[in-house]
Amino acid sequence: MDNSLFLGLVGLGALIVLIGIRVPIAYAMIVVGAVGTIALNGPGVFLNQLKTLGFSQFSKYDMSVIPMFVLMGYIATRAGLSQDLFRAANAWFGRMRGGVAMSAIAACAGFGAVCGSSLATATTMGQVALPELKRYRYSGALATGTLAAGGLLGILIPPSVVLVVYAIIVEANIVSMFAAALFPGLIAVALFILVIAIYVRVSPESGPAGDKLSRAEWLSATFGVVPVLAIFVIVIGGIYVGFYNPTPAAAVGVALVAIYGSLRRGVGLKDYRWALLETAKTTGMIYLILLGAELLKIFMSRGGVPQAAAEMMVNSGLSPMVILILLLIALIILGCLMDSMSMILLVMPFFWPVVSELDFGMDPEDVKIWFGILALIVVELGLITPPVGMNVFVISSLAKDVPMGQTFKGVFPFFLGELVRLALLIAFPAISLWLPHMLSN
Amino acid sequence: MDATTQNEGRVGPKGLTHRLIEAWALFGGVVILAVVAIQSISVVTGAFGHPLPGDFELTELGVAVGAFAFLPYCQLTGANVTADIFTSGLGRRFQAVLVFFSAIIALVFSVVMAWRTWIGTQDQFSYDYQTAILQIPIGYAFVPIVISLILVAVAAVVTLAESYQDIAHPSRNVYH
Amino acid sequence: QEVTLKLHHFLGPKSPAQTQMLEPWAKSIEEASGGKVKIEIYPSMSLGGAPPELVSQVRDGVVDLVWTVNGYTPGLFPRTEAFELPFIHTNDIRATNLAMRAMFDEYLAPEYKGVKVMFLHTHAGQAIQMAKDEVRKPADLAGKKMRIPTRTGAWVIEALGAAPAAMPVPDIPQAFSKGVVDGALIPWEIIPALKLQDQTEYQIEGVNKTRLGTTTFQVSMNLDKWNSLPEDIQKAFLDNSGEEWVKKAGDIWRQIDENGIKVATDAGNKHIQLTQEETDAFKTVLEPVVDRWVKEVESKGIDGAALVAKARELVAANTGK
Ligand code: NA
Ligand code: NA
């Protein structure tokens, strides 16, 4: 076997062993990257590179949107935006059969429009919607399954921290990525609502209809979404129409959510303290993994691994589409074991060089965007698949009376809906690409 | 996991360490908030044709300092993600051994990184690295980063001590 | 005995800088050494870090060779910065390359610590590229938001009464299409890579391709590595990095720049070459930038006035050579 490929396999094997014995993913990458680089080029090279590597990685301008979108999501959690959204959605869908669950999906989509994280969306909306679903006697499986799936909209609808990280790794334009994600995200909302409609048709007792509201209640609930809508239009709309690029947009988003939360919702110092500490955990975790990914990349580049792997794939005789689908299947399998962010961070440095060499008869920039959206969908599926499904864990911890097996069962129809969507997006790249194309012309 | 519950059971020097590291993370958060303020102000003044000079480089420096200040807190609260899939069935004592091993990696990494970044800091000053517009010496941003890395080492020692206790007396502590 | 050297840089593997300059340069040295040296080119920062780190990477021996922009590390190369000022480099890349080479030992060498500079070069120089505004005189730029190329480029923009905006190169197209900037000071060379022909309508330069300042680049080797090389290999490097080579590098960058403007004019953009008078009007407005720079480097104990005078003299003397 080619030396470089062998080296890559040894590195990958060491990585899997370390992660398997519960070493944090970031540190596993750091260890493999460090040991590999030292083995190839000696300790001097590695130690000297460390003098500035930490600063240069953490100071990358593109990455500055990460702490800001994360912080925005946590402040939004405390600012009561989730109640507003759910109340409004419920005013619209509530009286249909399965309508309270549909409302939860719509509210998740709304919250996803100001929050870049899946777990935060699942947690926040779970706290608001689970008691309501219980009140209307929804089955435990449908109630928790809906929220575990709805949480996915946190990353499927821009802003999305996972997409930012993907863009950083493959050097894609963040604005194009956000634009590409919008329509697939809306399709997900539609499919999830369709899944609920079919679910309650098959099993009517699991999702009874809710109450009809008076006109006054309906109006006040509907107008409750104005603040969220305004924030989304200013932040994401502002990025789309090009008023600013993502970093200032994220900053403005933090400021707006904080102002609304402080003035209208009594978000106080204690809440900010909580939001900052949660942001510290999420951001610190992501940044440390990105540093690990950089060290791993250095080792792999020095060993010539990416070129060798890409060459092997290209010379394998498999068609580009088959290779693409194999990679996506690998991501779905990995997703059973890992969370979405770590997966993008861990796998993209290996996968992207391969994909970038494949000829799909498309512009290379388009392939970058399209593959990013496909990868986003398959990695977020990992959040709802057993055994490690973070969204399911979070919702289970909120709904203590529903066994986790029920939640996995309830989320399965949504998983099927996601496979349908994935097939659509593979077959029609234009669904993802037309908005970024329109924006850049 | 709520931050306040983490602090329970950590008293004396450990409690002090925890409060120090938490305060340092909050300092990082405040630096991020300052970046938010700079960017927001620049958006407003920029709409009138006068973006804040140097907003770009202040963001780079601020986020680097802020994000590094988060790392000790991540180490202390176990926020660095792990894949528990193969090990969740193992006994508490064995899990503690694995945590102990990870803490050693974190300790070695943070000590080496702090040492090298400190050398890097001296380079920054002696070669006169500075930002393009405001001409801020970049070395100033390296100093809090070195402090953050030293605190990661401190946090790793705390994790090390805790997991050692768990190995010795597996029933006493519930490890997060 | 074969020596393998790693050359690290920040642009992509298909960029003209790699395919048209770095690869031919590396090949000529490999051949001249009779196959004793092999230069592996690592594009896109694939050996890690960010572009501003290239200088420290080569100085610390993390890599053996780098190609980098001096302006990525403001403060490190204050003397060479003289060549980036407006109307020092004018319109002849070869002349500016030769002038930098001639001044190197006596004037510039002190700031290249820990490295052996193979050669310094420049691109064709900053031109004005505007989304919607025709520019003929400095006043036409008043109040416009302009993307800055370098530290001193920001001063140029200020002196013209425009607002400087900093952003990474890949963000420029987006910034243009959305009106975040009205224009940029940047050479034609960048047009195809960023598809700027779609985002801009006007490409403006001075008389006879005169530009408003430029960017300087270096190709440098780690000093210890250099000293460890046997004499015949050193000779292969020196022979292929001398006057002949920097002239050729000038021609290469001229050609890359011409390819860029052709893409713009083919797309129907308006390419404006100012008259001598119009160019002089810019020169008058931008002269204070040179004074500002001389004053600033004075505080570092550098005789900026002498550098500027010598640079101008040598650029003039080498023009057309
Ligand atoms: Na989102
Ligand atoms: Na999973």
Average pLDDT over residues C122-135: 96
Is B95's pLDDT higher than 70? yes
Residue B88: predicted pLDDT: 66
CA–CA separation, A375 and B151 (whole Å): 36
End-to-end Cα spacing for chain A: 47
pLDDT higher than threshold 70 for residue C79: yes
Q: What is the mean pLDDT of chain C?
A: 94
Q: Where are the alpha helices (DSSP H) in A61-173?
A: 65-78, 81-93, 99-112, 118-135, 140-156, 161-170
Q: What residues in chain A have per-residue pLDDT under 70?
A: 1, 337-339, 387-388, 441
What is the predicted pLDDT for the residue at C317? 97
Contact assignment for B74 to A285 by CB distance below 8 Å:
yes
**In the prediction, which pLDDT does B4 show?**
42
Strand ranges across the sheet with C65-69:
C37-42, C3-8, C65-69, C216-222, C115-122
Residue B1 has pLDDT above 70, yes or no: no
Q: Kindly state whether C169 is in contact with chain B, defined as any CB-CB distance less than 8 angstroms.
A: no
A-contacting residues in B 103-162 (Cβ below 8 Å) = 105-106, 109, 112-113, 116-117, 119-120, 123, 138, 141-142, 145, 149
Give the mean pLDDT of C39-57: 92
pLDDT of residue C165: 80
pLDDT at residue B84 greater than cutoff 70: no
Residue B126 has pLDDT above 80, yes or no: yes
Lowest mean pLDDT across A205-219, A316-330, B78-92, C58-72: B78-92
Is-contact C159 C289, C-beta < 8 A? yes
Beta pairing partners, C238? none
> In the structure, what pLDDT confidence band is assigned to residue B3 with cuts at 50, 70 and 90?
very low
Among the residue ranges A265-269, B59-63, B167-171, C27-31, the one predicted with the least confidence is B167-171
Identify whether the C-beta of residue B50 lies closer than 8 Å to the C-beta of residue C163. yes
Of residues A15 and B66, more confidence is placed in B66
Q: Which domain holds residue A61?
A: 3-440
User: How far apart are the C-alpha atoms of A408 and A387, rounded to whole Å?
Assistant: 9
Q: HEC string of chain B?
A: CCHHHHHCCCCHHHHHHHHHHHHHHHHHHHHHHHHHHHHHHHHHHHHCCCCCCCHHHHHHHHHHHHHHHHHHHHHHHCCCCCCCCCCCCCCHHHHHHHHHHHHHHHHHHHHHHHHHHHHHHHHHHHCCCECCCCCCECHHHHHHHHHHHHHHHHHHHHHHHHHHHHHHCCCCCCCC
pLDDT at C65 over 50: yes
Interface of B with C (CB under 8 A): 49-51, 53-57, 123, 127-133, 135
Q: What are C138's two structure tokens?
A: 């400095």
Alpha-carbon separation of residue C298 from A435, C78, C291, C292, C307 (angstroms): 52, 10, 11, 10, 11
Beta partners for residue C236, in sequence order: none
The winner for highest mean pLDDT among A318-332, C66-80, C168-182 is C66-80
Query: Are the C-beta atoms of residues A272 and A75 closer than 8 Å to each other?
Result: yes
* Ligand 2 center–CA A137 separation, angstroms: 28
Cα atoms in the Cβ-side hemisphere of radius 13 Å centred on B77: 26
d(CA A70, CA A161): 8
Give CA–CA dist C102/C23, Å, rounded.
25
Phi, psi angle pair for C202, to nearest 5°: -125, 130
What is the DSSP pairing of strand C127-130 with strand C183-186?
A: antiparallel
* Residue from the list C46, C168, C179 with its beta carbon closest to the beta carbon of A301: C46
- pLDDT tens digits, A320-366: 899 899 888 888 887 776 667 777 777 787 788 788 888 888 888 89
pLDDT value for A339: 67
**B9: pLDDT strictly greater than 70:** no
Give partners of A (≥3 CB pairs < 8 A): B, C
**What percent helix, strand, coil does chain A show, rounded to 5?**
80, 0, 20
Predicted confidence at residue B6, as pLDDT, reads 47
- Asked if the model's pLDDT at residue C190 lies above 50, the reply is yes
Query: Residue A82 has what pLDDT?
Result: 85
CA angle C64, A289, A381 (to 5 degrees): 130
3-state secondary structure of C273: strand
Which value, to the nearest 10 degrees, does the dihedral of the CA atoms of residues A247, A252, A254, A257 take? -150
Q: Is the pLDDT of residue B172 over 80?
A: no
Which of the 8 DSSP states describes residue C18? I
**Residues in chain C, total:** 321
Q: Which residues pair with C270 in a beta bridge?
A: C202
Over the range C97-116, which residues count as b (16 or more CB within 10 Å of their CB) and which as e? Answer: bbbbbbbbeebbeebbeebb
What is the C-alpha to C-alpha distance for residues B32 and A286, in angstroms, rounded to an integer?
Answer: 15
pLDDT for res A229: 86
- The answer to whether A134 and A143 are in contact (CB under 8 A) is yes
Mark yes or no for CB contact A298/C47 under 8 Å: yes
User: Among all chains, which residue has been given the structure tokens 């509907």?
Assistant: A222
- pLDDT value at residue A228: 85
Which residue in chain A is spatially nearest to C168 when comparing CA positions?
A: A61
Helices (H), A171-268: 174-202, 215-223, 226-232, 238-240, 246-265
**Which of C171, C180, C197 is best to mutate for the A interface (most A CBs within 10 A)?**
C171
The answer to whether residue C137 neighbours chain B at the CB level (below 8 Å) is: no
Instruction: Determine which helix (DSSP H) or strand (DSSP E) holds A282, and give its type and residue range.
Output: helix A269-302
- Residue A261: predicted pLDDT: 92
Say whether B129 and C71 touch across the interface (CB within 8 A): no
Amino acid B140: pLDDT:
97
Task: Give the contacts of A26 (CB within 8 A, at least 6 positions apart).
Answer: A285, A288, A289, A291, A292, B80, B81
Confidence of residue C235 (pLDDT cuts 50, 70, 90): very high
Phi first, then psi, for residue C222 (nearest 5°) are -55, 135
* End-to-end Cα separation, chain C, in angstroms: 39
pTM of the model: 0.88
In this predicted structure, the answer to whether residue C237 has a pLDDT above a threshold of 80 is yes
Q: pLDDT value at position A295?
A: 92
Provide the 3-class DSSP secondary structure of residue A218: helix
Return the residue of A nearest to C176 by Cα.
Answer: A242
Number of domains in chain A: 1
CA-nearest of A276, B121, A365 to C194 is A365
Do C50 and A59 lie within an 8 Å CB cutoff? Answer: yes
Q: Which residues pair with C68 in a beta bridge?
A: C218
CB spacing of B132 vs C166 below 8 angstroms: yes
Peptide bond between residue A248 and the one before it cis (omega within 30 degrees of 0): no
B50 vs C294, more confident = C294
Distance between CA atoms of A97 and C131, rounded to whole angstroms? 54
Distance A302 CA to ligand 1 centre (A): 36
CB contact under 8 A, C49 and A241: no
CB pair distance less than 8 Å for B116 and A388: no
Residue pair C158/C138 in contact (Cβ under 8 Å)? The answer is no
**Per-residue pLDDT at B106:** 97
Residue of B nearest to A273 (CA): B26
End-to-end Cα distance, chain B: 9
Q: Rounded distance, CA A29 to CA A37, Å?
A: 12
| R_g of chain B, CA atoms, integer Å | 20
Q: Are B65 and B144 contacting, i.e. CB atoms less than 8 angstroms apart?
A: yes
Higher pLDDT, C78 or A297: C78
Count of CA atoms in the C-beta half-sphere (13 A) of A391: 36
Instruction: Count Cβ neighbours within 10 Å for each residue of B145-157 and write b for 16 or more, e otherwise.
Output: bbbbbbbbbbbbb
Overall average pLDDT of the C174-200 stretch: 87
Nearest ligand to the CA atom of A343: 2
Q: Give the range among A38-42, B123-127, C71-75, C164-168 with minimum mean pLDDT.
A: C164-168
Backbone dihedral angles phi then psi of residue C130, each to the nearest 5 degrees: -120, 145
| Bigger pLDDT: C82 vs B165 | C82
